Structure 1
């Protein structure tokens, strides 16, 4: 039994879902089908969208917009060859339809051919009356290409079309940040705020830009304006707290973090920041209380476990520090920060074999910091394994070939190993790299401060530097 859609007063979506539950068939305008399909696509209900497309094309086999929606679903499901075939057919029927070029661009984007996608989107721009969505798509393609300048310009056009398009506004600022143009971002946001003085999002982003520039007074003012614009804007309170921390105003910072907890479910990041503020205020019991709350709220937050570990490490309670860093490693044994901290703790406990193993794990997992190589070498020397210590220093020099610290330490280790030739060569190399860091060598190897050949080499280096 077929019924006209206007025989039932329900909205098209409710009417369509009612039809699916019965044997009745209702007729809809093609525009109604478009609304139904868009509703399902926007809500991620792909199966229902496909049903609506199928029925819609049965009722309106020549509707180009429905065919384009069918192609959009095919592209989403990576059925790219079929989608291209349908596009070829559609282009013959309607060669000036910008949506055809947009869907072709989506296909090229899926194939990682972003240059071709950009070219097609620019063709679509020439044909389109409303180019807002196309500029947004262009911006994303430029981001894929790491062309942040062009991406920024595309997203700026989106914001100029709709100043409430906060997604594009965020993308504009993201591009400024990636280009490290914080001054440009500040000018852009101030200009935007001239037109939208009560936009909490823009004030929040402006505050973050001032924070990057270490303009803390201006940052606090921006965050205050964000809060005035929307006193429930949690992000503004949190960022304001971070700035107050940097200014040493820990009690005020705590108040702002506590505000975020009162407004919404507590977050591990808020607990962590409150804990750090209490530690700065030497409220040790309160600091521990909030650190433990941090890891209880989010056991996978590495900064939480490291905060507890560092708390005990700074107080030289190395056994407890080791206990907590091991708990962290049991949760995430692939975290190089955990292993590095584990190495330092074991070294403090004079467990040099364990420290050696921990440093190796940290490096294997991608921690190549200069201090890691230097401290690992010290551990091996303490374990009376000078040969391995020199090998580690040599590996470190592959990452930091201009590091005088590594060279001075290498010289000292060779000398400690009674290898005078390599010791002198390394020492001379270190002097050439940085004469000013000679004091590091004398601090670590004071036995050579009055050595004739050392003094002679230093004298020659000083003359050469003048």
Structure 2
């Protein structure tokens, strides 16, 4: 009738049946259209008005929804009360929601347990974790054995970082239902969050006993195996997901990382090359960085350069990629270009916690270049920046000591040389130490080399 341009009529119950079927099938393609038709035909029908409220809440038009709810003036209807409380919470009116809940408690309404089960997750999804916890505890005071509230308590504790308490609650849930796939999965995730990978793996194994087809749990288990340095076993778990459309190219970069830890660069190269050739979904900096490492380790130098250029076009301000570019310039003897690239990182890139180590690497590499060029003061400035944020950065104190020695400051030389480890002094080869301009050899540097060669453990000598 729509296609023929004719007026369509359904009675209110038929409209409700249609809307219910959309909700059950989770297909809302025609939901708005059918509801609009129903409201035109039956504007005062309470069931359709409640559906209209639900739609407004779904569209996050909470003020309109609350206004419509108030106009209905219907008491004792569970759907209306649930929607009212959700709107109040979403609008930041938790105090009003709490008062209304207390009124429902006083009236001894029959659906009070449903109220707590519904609103506690809503508060959690809104990020109102303190209010959610308050609501959970209020609900548990009336329904101490309610599983939904206990599950919400577990998620709430996880969201607020109280992992140990969350684990305790999760174990109680498992005691109540030892065959719960969801609870075992949650327990594994919680253990992994606190770095207890052995217990996490055990929990994921129990989860997979309940349902051995869940790819997400397998990925989590493989991750824990990887973090536990069991790379071969991680590869076996990842391999189970190869050939499954939603997982094949998702796990290949993860498998490549495991192969890198096993020094199997050829296999890692094959996996990453296949991933980058067949999908752009995992075209990420980490994928390119690992691929570049594989190219370098397998002597694919031209491909390494081309890949680096491609990666920098996609991620022009990524610290690690820019750092690799600077290293490439350094290896080619292009010191000016290397310094410009490293200085660009320091001047323009604001690293987050993930890349803070790269900032130290950048300063250290820049200092090495300045030291090799004989620009001692500039080199020292960068070494001290490294030490300021990373006092135990390998070789930083040793290189700073050399700079001070070149500048004739023996007091600062001693200050830094005594903070070097024995192994650093043993490993030092002096590749970045420039000769003095007046001669091919520096007496001070020769003194250092003599000191190093004798490997004296008494660093005050």
Which sits farther off after the overlay, 278-287 or 150-159?
A: 150-159
Q: Structure 1, unaligned stretches of length 5 or more?
A: 1-16, 452-457, 460-466
Closer/same/farther in 2, CA of residues 120 and 210 from structure 1, 3 Å limit: same
Q: Write out aligned runs for 1:24-43 (5 A).
A: 24-29=8-13, 32-37=14-19, 39-40=21-22, 43=26
Relative to structure 1, the CA distance from residue 122 to residue 155 in structure 2 (aligned partners, 3 Å threshold; closer, same or farther) is closer
What does residue 349 of structure 2 align with? Answer: 365
Q: 1:183 aligns with which of 164, 173, 188?
A: 164
For residues 99 and 223 of structure 1, the distance between their equivalents in structure 2, rounded to whole angstroms, comes to: 38
For residue 254 of structure 1, report the CA deviation from its aligned partner.
2.4
Q: CA-atom RMSD, angstroms? A: 4.7
Partners of 1:306 and 1:402 in 2: CA distance = 24
Q: What secondary structure, in the 3-state scheme, does the structure 2 residue paired with 1:186 have?
A: helix
Q: Is the Cα–Cα contact under 8 Å of residues 133 and 153 in structure 2 kept in the other structure? A: no
Residues 242-257 of structure 1 correspond to what in structure 2 (within 5 A)? 242-257=223-238
Which of 181, 200, 204 is matched with 1:219 structurally?
200
Q: Secondary structure of the equivalent of 2:44? A: coil
Q: 1:223 to 1:150 in 2, by over 3 A?
A: same
Shift of 1:390: 5.9
CA 1:106–1:135: 2 relative to 1, 3 Å: closer
CA contact (8 A) 1:227 1:233 kept: yes
Q: How many residues align?
A: 415
Partner of 2:318 in structure 1? 335
Mapped contact 1:271–1:294 kept (Cα < 8 A): yes
User: Quick one: structure 1 residues 274 and 123, their matched pair in 2 at CA, closer, same or farther if it must change by over 3 Å?
Assistant: same
Judge conservation of contact 2:188–2:203 (CA < 8 Å) in 1.
yes
1:295 equivalent in structure 2: 276
* Deviations 1:67-104, CA, capped at 9 Å, x for gaps: 343344445556666555545534xx336767667656
Shift of 1:268: 2.8
1:321–1:345: 8 Å Cα contact kept in structure 2?
A: no
The residue aligned with 1:203 is 184
1: distance between equivalents of 2:365 and 2:131? Answer: 39
Match of 2:98 in 1: 122
- Cα distance in structure 1, aligned partners of 2:176 and 2:4: 48
Name the counterpart of 1:49.
Answer: 31
Higher helix share: 1
Alignment of 1:60-459 (within 5 A): 60-74=42-56, 77=59, 82-83=64-65, 85-90=67-72, 93-94=73-74, 114=92, 116=93, 118-126=94-102, 127=104, 129=112, 130-131=114-115, 132-141=117-126, 144-145=127-128, 147=130, 150=133, 153=136, 175-299=156-280, 300-314=283-297, 320-363=303-346, 364-367=348-351, 368-369=356-357, 370-383=360-373, 389=379, 403=391, 408=397, 412=401, 415=404, 418=407, 436=419, 447=445
Relative to structure 1, the CA distance from residue 188 to residue 162 in structure 2 (aligned partners, 3 Å threshold; closer, same or farther) is closer
Residues 266 and 25 from structure 1, CA distance in 2 versus in 1: closer, same or farther, beyond 3 angstroms? closer
Greater Cα offset, 272-281 or 283-292:
272-281
CA distance in 1, matches of 2:139, 2:186: 15
Q: Deviations over 1:217-242 (max 9, x none)?
A: 43333222222211212223333333
Q: Distance in 2 between matches of 1:197 and 1:313?
A: 50
1:277-298 superposed Cα distances (whole Å, 9 cap, x missing partner): 4444444432321121232344
> 1:67–1:192: structure 2 CA closer, same or farther, 3 Å change rule?
same
Cα pair 1:148 1:178 within 8 Å, conserved: no
TM superposition score normalised by structure 2? 0.69
Q: Secondary structure at the match of 1:26?
A: coil
Alpha-carbon distance between aligned partners in 1 of 2:207 and 2:413, rounded to the nearest angstrom: 57
**Cα distance in structure 2, aligned partners of 1:199 and 1:380:** 61
Cα contact 1:340–1:359 (8 A) shared by 2: yes
Post-superposition offset of 1:139:
1.8
Describe the superposition over 1:181-233 as per-residue Cα deviations: whole angstroms up to 9, x where unpaired: 33333322222222322223332332333344554443333222222211212
Find the residue that maps to 2:308 and give its secondary structure.
Answer: helix
Label 1:254 to 1:350 Cα distance change in 2 as closer, same or farther (>3 A): same
Say which SS state the counterpart of residue 231 (structure 1) adopts.
coil
User: How far off is 1:304 after superposition?
Assistant: 1.8
Unaligned runs of 5+ in 2: 105-110, 434-443, 452-458
Alignment partners' CA distance in 2, 1:393 and 1:344: 17
For 1:89 and 1:200, the matched residues in 2 are separated by 44
TM-score with structure 1 setting the length: 0.68
Q: Secondary structure at the match of 2:241?
A: helix
Q: Which residue pairs with 1:7 in the alignment?
A: none
Contact persistence 1:241–1:253 (CA under 8 A): yes
| 1:464 aligned residue | none
2:232/2:258 contact within 8 Å kept:
yes
